[in-house]
Structure 1
């Protein structure tokens, strides 16, 4: 299973307004929603960690240069 996110450099974000970042976030979230592979990956995560968690979309910075990806992550309510 291969799910790819678009990688954005810090330069991509430097001159964006808050409104543009929100628009870009909405576009990236739609890309995740449209992914054919993502539902089965999400199901596998929930099977491993339990269905009580919460899926959230976030920008994640990958390195000190500010390289980012938009991702959907699972926040488990299980404290263990």
Structure 2
């Protein structure tokens, strides 16, 4: 039996990868929750840290609030972790 949530996540990731990056950004920024996350100066600093130091991600994921925001951005297609 398949996990419905996992299948949905896979589908949305596949769509995001195959979509025009500008369309992904527009669709993500239409979400009020994503808008609030991206307006948060602390989150912008965290995202910048993660970009410059991939190890920073592990530290930030220890905070459940930040982890939830990062998950939301991942689901929206705005960020990807490689």
TM range (shorter): 0.3 to 0.5
TM-score relative to the length of structure 1: 0.33
Higher helix residue share: 2
Higher strand residue share: 1
TM-score relative to the length of structure 2: 0.33
